[in-house]
């Protein structure tokens, strides 16, 4: 049995679902950010696998994955900065307590 | 291969001005200069857009960067929106006097992101452009020091990141199915795949749904609308205005181009997503309007109203899908509606910025008697609200007729009926604000002063709303020119 | 193919055996009385070498570290783009060189910004 495209896609789908579940169910904002990273990395796995198996001669998928990584880093940097700002005023990183606005 | 840098001049010039604003901010004490430099940058960029208008559609970077009337129309729209928002921020920026440079620079950078979003025809650059505009908007949303703003920024960021990850997964599936990232090549690849293979594999449909989810977040359609009220309430009001018009327009631009170019043929595929958008449209406008009735905070009310307006706009998208390649009315209706909506909603927000900043409240009840305290502002707000309902003599009426006409023309009568019923529902809460302002007793006799910048911007938007409403012919023509999407 | 997994399985078994035997070895030796048992305070302390810990381990980090971490992440990512370019520097030619220069210029503005805002200094 060799590792084929399906295996990578199943891995990627599982990772994506784990990340999505984490992002929607966890309360700690840092953990939510980490879950989002898992989702993005799941996409990266799929992109690189597709690139390797569907179009082995061009590196589009790999390049796409690089860009995703860079954008993810920027997103996390901004996310952490906003969390710090919120922490300074509220002394919490719990999303359930970030509830000033409702309705 | 030549670089054809002249095609990129609008974005490049704006980028240079954005960097200039950041650098000038470090040395200059007089922060008003920064607003001037930003406006100058927008004007220069707008000038470059106008020089490109009317030329042959062209592409640069191997079809990654498409310059067609469709893209140029949106670029102008974003530049106008950014300019009006910067002018409207003149009073507001005193709340964060130390960080004005960053504020203007981020508005410019997000405008660059949106312009790129309207002009790219390739998956990677669509993603980068989307994130460039979104990340700047996350920061701007959390710009104020108060916890509400940080909270809004955090919610926007977390939900936005989840949405963009979903979008990416859809892109990965489409890429995996076709092995291409350029939209036109993907379209060709889809046409060469045998029909049975396409129907057997869920990859394409799943990809389309995931893409619709990701972009749906950007335009705030149901069921991805939950971030809207909180973010709109917490964000600085000029940024709320910017979010509600420019960011939404960028979302529509990219959806229209992406789905039209990539999934436009074969017809059954196009019909599928047309129906998807039609049903989402019906739910979106109904939900937005019904919840808006119960709101007491005017920013939240306009938030839900903007969800409802997204629903009307999606009638255009549905028409594009149903008619597929035969469509022109759907796209031109979408463009005209977006232009009218941009002016109208910006006008409404500008009036709210002027009033709320002085009375220090966003509650609708506190607007009582504004007709006598600030007659000009109240008049402007009334005009914009009337246009949002779609009553004469405003742009909103023409826009609605135009886009509903497209719906009827391509056989979406049921959707148009729902749209008209919704317009009637929406009149209730829009007119509620008008009633409070003109018929309510003022809480104090004190006048509400406003700065010249706000007055000029409000006058400009109101003039735009009236001109689009009374003599729409020329602008309909422009919208019809601008439907040409570059596809070769 | 299966033999490949066989090697992995063998490796796994050896690893587990090794890991189990390491703590068991001294225990059996001391049970058999082969090693002397002479505890003293220094020998039984958690860290036999190094400095004694003072206070609780769960102290809060200084806020400033986060700024450094954030800046580090942003500028660190730069290398993702520079590395592929640098490895193919000659083939990519002048066009890519100019593009990378433009990219660095934009990042430089960010760097100057951080510098002038005194984010890089420890206050």
pLDDT of residue B1: 47
Rounded Cα distance between C121 and A62, Å, is: 37
- The alpha carbons of chain A give a radius of gyration, in whole angstroms, of 17
Mean pLDDT of A28-48: 94
d(C-alpha B352, C-alpha B357), whole Å: 8
Q: Report the pLDDT averaged over residues B148-157.
A: 91
- Asked if the bond preceding B223 is cis, omega within 30° of 0, the reply is yes
Distance CA(B339)–CA(C3), nearest Å, equals 67
Residue B106 confidence (pLDDT): 95
- Residue pair B448/B36 in contact (Cβ under 8 Å)? The answer is no
Cβ of residue A77 closer than 8 Å to a chain C Cβ: yes
Summarize pLDDT for B155-204 with one digit per residue, the tens.
Answer: 999 999 999 999 999 999 999 988 899 999 999 988 888 877 777 778 88
For A24, B120, B243, B281, B471, the CA distances from B219, given in Å and listed in that order, are 21, 18, 10, 11, 29
> What average pLDDT does range A35-45 have in this prediction?
95
> What residue ranges in B328-412 does DSSP mark as E strands?
none
Burial of A85 (0-12, 13-18, 19+ CB in 10 A): buried
Which residues of C, range 56-95, sit inside 8 Å of B by Cβ?
A: 95
Q: Residue B72 above 90 pLDDT?
A: yes
Please tell me the distance from the alpha carbon of residue A16 to that of residue A8, in angstroms, as a whole number. Answer: 12
Task: Kindly identify which residue of chain C lies nearest to residue A79, measuring between CA atoms.
Answer: C70
Task: Report, as an integer, the average pLDDT of A72-84.
Answer: 89
Q: What is the ipTM of this complex?
A: 0.93
Contacts of residue C75, defined as CB under 8 A and 6 or more positions apart, other chains included, come to C107, C111
The answer to whether domain A5-91 has CATH 1.10.287.3510 is yes
What average pLDDT does range B86-93 have in this prediction? 87
Please name which of B76, B39, B37, B85 lies closest in space to residue B54, comparing C-alpha atoms: B76
Q: What is the pLDDT of residue A103?
A: 46
| pLDDT value at A22 more than 60 | yes
Q: For C61-108, give the DSSP string.
A: PPTHHHHHHHHHHHHHTHHHHHHHHHHTHHHHHHHHHHHHHHHHHHHH
Tell me the β-bridge partners of B60.
B65
Q: Using 50, 70 and 90 to split pLDDT, how confident is the model at B125? A: very high
CATH of the domain at C77: 1.20.58.1610
At residue B450 the predicted structure's pLDDT band, cuts being 50, 70 and 90, is confident
CB–CB contact C113 B22 (8 Å): yes
H/E segment holding residue B58: strand B58-60
CB pair distance less than 8 Å for A39 and B165: yes
Residue B3 to residue C117, Cβ atoms within 8 A: no
Query: Is B3 strand, coil or helix?
Result: coil
Could you report how far apart the first and last alpha carbons of chain B are, in Å?
17
pTM for the complete prediction?
0.89
Token duo for residue C36: 């002397």
pLDDT at residue A102 greater than cutoff 70: no
* Partners of residue A89 in chain B, C-beta under 8 Å: 145-147, 150
- Asked if the C-beta of A82 comes within 8 angstroms of chain C's C-beta atoms, the answer is no
Taking the C-alpha atoms of residue C1 and residue C12, their distance in angstroms, rounded to an integer, is 17
Question: Mutate which of B123, B127, B154 to test chain A, going by most A C-beta atoms within 10 A?
Answer: B154
Report yes or no: A92 and A28 within 8 Å, Cβ to Cβ.
no
> Is C121 inside any structural domain?
no
pLDDT averaged over every residue in chain B: 90
CA distances from B147 to A28, B143, B242 (A): 17, 10, 21
Q: Residues B216-251: pLDDT tens digits?
A: 999 998 888 889 999 999 999 999 999 999 999 999
d(CA C121, CA C114): 10
Cβ atoms within 10 Å of B224's Cβ, excluding its own: 23
pLDDT per position as a tens digit, B358-416:
888 888 888 888 888 888 889 999 999 999 999 888 999 999 999 999 999 988 999 99
Helix H or strand E encompassing A72: helix A60-90
What is the rounded CA–CA span in Å between residue B438 and residue B200? 61
Is B1's Cβ below 8 Å from some Cβ in C?
no
How many residues are present in chain A?
103
Which of A64-73, B324-333, B467-476, C84-93 has the weakest average pLDDT?
Answer: B324-333
Mean pLDDT of B286-301: 92
Structure tokens at A18: 């784990």
Q: Rounded distance, CA B269 to CA B203, Å? A: 13
Of C33, B127, B259, nearest to A68 by C-alpha is B127
Task: Give the tokens for residue B284.
Answer: 């979106």
Give the closest of B166, B169, B175 to A61, CB-based.
B175
C58 part of a folded domain: no
Q: Are B312 and B339 in contact (CB under 8 A)?
A: no
Asked if B26's CB is within 8 angstroms of C113's CB, the reply is: yes
In sequence order, which residues have a C-beta less than 8 Å from that of residue A74 and are 6 or more positions away? B131, B135, C74, C77
pLDDT band of residue A98 (cuts 50, 70, 90) is: low
Contact C77/A at CB under 8 A: yes
Instruction: List the domain boundaries for chain A.
Output: 5-91
Contact B127 A67 (CB under 8 A): yes
- Continuous segment of H or E residues that includes residue B67: strand B65-67
**pLDDT at site A93:** 64
pLDDT average, residue stretch B344-357: 90
Selection from B321, B349, B338, B347 nearest residue B398 by Cα: B338
Helices (H) and strands (E) in chain B, counts: 21, 2
Among the listed residues B104, B242, B154, C68, the one whose alpha carbon sits nearest the alpha carbon of residue A78: B154
Name which of B124, B154, B176 is nearest A98 (Cβ-Cβ).
B154
Structure confidence at residue B162 (pLDDT) = 94
Contact B22 C116 (CB under 8 A): no
C45 is a domain residue? no
Rounded Cα gap, residues B111 and B116, in angstroms: 9
pLDDT digits (tens, 9 = 90+) for C51-96: 666 777 676 666 677 777 878 887 888 888 898 899 988 888 888 8
Per-residue model confidence (pLDDT) at position B487: 67
Domain count, chain C: 2
β-bridge partners, B66: B59
- What is the pLDDT, as a whole number, of residue A100? 65
Using alpha carbons, list the distances in angstroms from residue B245 to B46, B63, B133, C14.
18, 28, 13, 64
pLDDT for residue B464 is more than 90? yes
pLDDT of residue C61: 67
Higher pLDDT, B46 or A96: B46
Residue B115, pLDDT > 90, answer: yes
Omega prior to B266 cis, within 30 of 0: yes
Q: Choosing among C70, C80, C113, C120, which should be mutated to test the B contact, i.e. which has the most B CBs within 10 A?
A: C113
- First CA to last CA distance, chain A: 54
Residue B473: burial class (beta carbons within 10 Å; 0-12, 13-18, 19+): exposed
Judge whether residue A39 has pLDDT over 50: yes
- Six token digits for residue A32: 């939510």
- Closest among B35, B56, B40, B61 to B116, alpha carbons compared: B61
Query: Residue B120's beta-bridge partner residues?
Result: B65
The kind and range of the H/E element at B59 are: strand B58-60
Q: What part of B 313-372 touches C (C-beta under 8 Å)?
A: none
Q: How many whole angstroms separate alpha carbon B319 and alpha carbon B440?
A: 42
Residue that has been written with the tokens 């920024």 in this structure = B153
Q: Which of A62, A67, A73, A88 is the mutation pick for testing C, counting most C CBs within 10 A?
A: A73
The parent domain of residue C87 ranges over 64-116
Tokens of B8: 């990129």
CA B44 to CA C62: how far, in whole Å? Answer: 45
- Please check whether residue C54 lies inside any domain of the structure: no
Q: How far is C54 from chain A (nearest CA, A)?
A: 26
Closest C-alpha to B262, from B251, B249, B273? B273
pLDDT at A1: 60
From the number of C-beta atoms within 10 Å of its C-beta (0-12, 13-18, 19+), residue C86 rates as exposed
B286: nearest Cα among B425, B132, B122, B446: B425
Confidence grade of residue C123 (pLDDT, cut at 50, 70, 90): low
- C-alpha A39/C-alpha A19 separation (Å) is 5
Concatenating the DSSP letter of every residue in B441-460 gives PPS-S------HHHHHHHHH
């Amino acid at each position: 049995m060799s590792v084929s495209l399906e295996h990578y896609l199943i891995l990627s789908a599982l990772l994506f679902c784990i990340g999505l579940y984490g992002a929607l169910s966890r309360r700690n904002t840092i953990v939510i950010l980490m879950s989002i990273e898992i989702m993005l990395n799941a996409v990266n796995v799929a992109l690189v696998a597709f690139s390797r198996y569907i179009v082995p001669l061009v590196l589009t998928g790999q390049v796409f994955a690089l860009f995703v990584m860079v954008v993810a880093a920027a997103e996390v940097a901004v996310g952490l900065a906003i969390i710090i700002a919120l922490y300074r005023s509220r002394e919490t990183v719990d999303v359930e307590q970030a509830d000033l606005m409702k309705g | 291969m030549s670089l054809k840098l002249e095609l990129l001049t609008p974005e490049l010039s704006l980028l240079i001005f954005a960097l200039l604003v950041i650098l000038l901010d470090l040395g200059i004490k007089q922060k008003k200069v920064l607003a001037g430099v930003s406006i100058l940058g927008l004007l220069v960029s707008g000038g470059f857009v106008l020089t490109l208008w009317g030329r042959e559609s062209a592409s640069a970077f191997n079809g990654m960067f498409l310059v067609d009337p469709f893209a140029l129309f949106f670029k102008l729209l974003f530049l106008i929106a950014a300019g009006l928002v910067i002018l409207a921020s003149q009073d507001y920026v005193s709340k964060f006097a130390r960080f004005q440079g960053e504020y203007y620079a981020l508005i410019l950078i997000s405008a660059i992101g949106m312009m790129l979003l309207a002009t790219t025809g390739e998956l990677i650059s669509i993603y980068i452009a989307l994130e460039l505009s979104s990340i700047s908007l996350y920061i701007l949303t959390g710009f104020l020091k108060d916890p509400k703003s940080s909270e809004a920024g955090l919610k926007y960021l977390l939900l936005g990141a989840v949405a963009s990850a979903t979008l990416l997964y859809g892109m990965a599936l489409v890429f995996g199915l076709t092995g291409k990232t350029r939209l036109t090549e993907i379209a060709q690849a889809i046409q060469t795949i045998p029909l049975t293979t396409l129907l057997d594999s869920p990859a394409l449909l799943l990809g389309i749904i995931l893409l619709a989810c990701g972009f749906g977040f950007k335009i705030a359609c149901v069921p991805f609308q939950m971030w809207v009220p909180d973010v709109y309430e917490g964000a600085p009001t000029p940024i709320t205005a910017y979010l509600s018009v420019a960011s939404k327009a960028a979302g529509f631009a990219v959806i229209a181009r992406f789905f039209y170019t990539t999934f436009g043929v074969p017809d059954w595929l196009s019909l599928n997503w047309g129906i998807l958008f039609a049903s989402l449209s019906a739910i979106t406008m109904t939900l937005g309007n019904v919840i808006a009735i119960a709101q007491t905070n005017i920013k939240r009310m306009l938030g839900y109203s903007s969800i409802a307006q997204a629903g009307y706009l999606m009638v255009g998208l549905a028409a594009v899908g149903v008619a597929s390649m035969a469509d022109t009315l759907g796209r031109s209706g979408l463009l005209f509606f977006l232009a009218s909506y941009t002016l109208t909603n910006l006008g409404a927000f500008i009036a709210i910025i002027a009033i709320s900043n002085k009375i220090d409240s966003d509650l609708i009840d506190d607007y009582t008697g504004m007709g006598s305290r600030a007659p000009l502002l109240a008049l402007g707000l009334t005009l914009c609200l009337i246009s949002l309902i779609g009553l004469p003599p405003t742009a909103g009426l023409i826009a609605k007729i135009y886009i509903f006409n497209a719906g009827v023309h391509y056989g979406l009568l049921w959707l148009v009926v729902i749209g008209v019923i919704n317009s009637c529902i929406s009149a209730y809460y829009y007119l509620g604000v008008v009633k409070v302002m003109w018929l309510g007793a003022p809480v104090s006799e004190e006048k509400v002063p406003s700065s010249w910048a706000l007055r000029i911007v409000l006058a400009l938007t109101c003039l735009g709303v009236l001109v689009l409403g009374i003599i729409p012919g020329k602008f309909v023509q422009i919208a019809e020119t601008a439907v040409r999407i570059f596809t070769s | 193919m299966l033999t490949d997994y066989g090697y992995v399985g063998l490796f796994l078994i050896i690893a587990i055996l090794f890991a189990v035997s390491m703590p068991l070895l001294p225990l059996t030796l001391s049970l058999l009385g082969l090693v002397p048992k002479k505890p003293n305070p220094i020998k039984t302390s958690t860290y036999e070498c190094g400095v004694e810990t003072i206070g609780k381990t769960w102290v809060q980090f200084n806020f400033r570290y986060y700024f450094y971490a954030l800046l580090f992440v942003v500028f660190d990512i730069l290398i993702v783009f520079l590395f592929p370019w640098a490895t193919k520097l000659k083939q990519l030619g002048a066009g890519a060189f100019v593009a990378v220069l433009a990219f660095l210029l934009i990042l430089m503005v960010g760097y100057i910004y951080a510098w002038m805002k005194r984010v890089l200094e420890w206050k």
